Amino acid sequence: MSFKIAFIGAGSIGFTRGLLRDILAVKEFNDIEVAFTDINEHNLEMVTQLCQRDIDRNGLKIKIQATADRREAVKNARYVFNVVRIGGIEAYQHDIDIPLKYGVDQCVGDTLCAGGIMYGQRGIVAILDFCKDIREVAQPGCLLLNYANPNAMVTWACNKYGGVRTIGLCHGVQHGHEQIANVFGLKKEEVDIICAGINHQTWYIQIRHNGEDLTGKLLEAFQKHPEYSVTEKVRIDMLKRFGYYSTESNGHLSEYVPWYRKRPGEITDWIDLGCWINGETGGYLRVTTEGRNWFETDFPNWMKEPAFEYKEELRSKEHGSYIVEGLETGRIYRGHFNVVNNGAISNLPDDAIVEVPGYVDANGINIPRVGDLPLGCAAVCNASISVQRLSVEAAVSGDDKLLRQAMMLDPLVGAVCNTNEIWQMTDEMLVAQKQWLPQYGKAIAEAEERLKSGSLIPVKEGYKGAARLHTKTVEEMARDRESAKRNAGAADKAEERPAEKK
């Protein structure tokens, strides 16, 4: 069979290559068309070289269409993978550093909190342009598979305003599933789970082994685990308070709720610095910066190393390739996907993007009814959904009042800052990121005037946060090339598994 798949943001270091390996490991897909597009032509060229080398070594005849012309890339595509990071590291640095001046200490800052909200403002305005191209030149009914964060906000905007059916994909469920099996001394395939919630705040509401429900035994198992009892303190505390384990990593989860990062002196009580994902201040920014710098430096060596092998047993657990396989071949796939709720979770709003079980086959993507989430879990999700809704509407309309309200209602920002601080912080973030925020022209001009006025609230200039580590130079990374290479692979948005140990 032949059809076309396009990757937008294909210049990512490892994720595009890994997804392509997953797709081309499906024997029926050996003659599909593949297109890569990215605004950074240098990154696009490097990743294309690496992936084309893999294709050639596996004996396939596919030639990647690499182009900076996005419309040309998505033309006639049946599937489009969105893996972009709008604004790159330059914008992302502002997402972390400006809130720090106001005491908002984030580990990741790409889903919720001040950084995630601004990431959404940049991403949504760009991705709605992607949707326009897809509507106009892609194959009718083209499916957009979104891996970009903030996943729920982007997926929400694409479905509501983009006119393109969009499924949000994440790997948090798979990783937590592995942890749960581990604490019980079982293999992952021996433990059946059902998750429901919203992206990065999804809950394992059912855990079964040989018909036995293990949910009630999970807290004790995690508390006794020699590694997770140290690295997952926030998740374990949430499990203790709410009764259910959360899909997302310790560092991610700590910044979505008001309790763990609001007092600098207490942050280190809840995190572990063995790996960035456990809660390090600006940890993902650091590993992303190091990874990009290392890939640029070490790329010739990557080209000398063995090519990826396209084998079924080497496929990752990312949902994307399995969804395409199910739709095209009819093989049944069960995963957890981010979709418009429409009643799947009965005590969350219908218009929200929820993460729930889904089944894929030749008949399409089918979402069962989950019913009610436990009340406490639903309350945590609803707080975030309100922030997401305001953020989406702000990004689409360019209404900075909605943006400021989203900041005020964000659980961690609201726990740390008063209203005047939030207004000024939002001014700073708008001005610093104006090149990626065309919808906010008038608001940015007004913010610039206010910031020039001189009557500003004092902030902690140069504050590095409660647990910030040094960003390594290329020379420092060269002393341990294998560790640097692993971190380069982890520097993509979509690969957030621990890649390092201090």
Enzyme catalytic residues: 171, 256
Distances in whole angstroms, Cα of residue 455 to Cα of each of 99, 449, 452, 458: 19, 11, 8, 9
Kindly report whether the peptide bond that precedes residue 150 is cis, defined as omega within 30 degrees of 0: yes
Cβ burial of 93 (10 Å; 0-12, 13-18, 19+) is middle
Place of tokens 């604004």: 87
Tell me the three state secondary structure of residue 66: strand
Q: Is the dihedral of CA 338, 343, 346, 350 positive or negative?
A: positive
Q: How far apart are CA 72 and CA 307, in angstroms?
A: 28
Q: How far apart are CA 191 and CA 208, in angstroms?
A: 6
3-state SS assignment for residue 359: strand
How many of the other CB atoms lie within 10 Å of CB of 368? Answer: 11
Can you tell me whether residue 388 is helix, strand or coil? helix
d(CA 498, CA 502): 11
Amino acid identity, residue 437? L
Q: Which residues of 185-222 are buried (b: 16+ CB within 10 A; e: fewer)?
A: eeeeeebebbbbbbbbbbbbbebeeeeeebbeebbebb
What is d(CA 2, CA 33) in angstroms, rounded to the nearest whole number?
A: 7
Residue 145, helix vs strand vs coil = strand
Report the C-alpha gap between 122 and 243 in whole angstroms. Answer: 36
Q: Alpha-carbon distance 26 to 33, whole Å? A: 14
Distance, in Å, from the CA atom of 360 to the CA atom of 335, rounded to the nearest integer, reads 8
How many other C-beta atoms lie within 10 A of the C-beta of residue 441? 11
**Cα 217-367-189 angle, rounded to 5 deg:** 40
SS3 195: strand
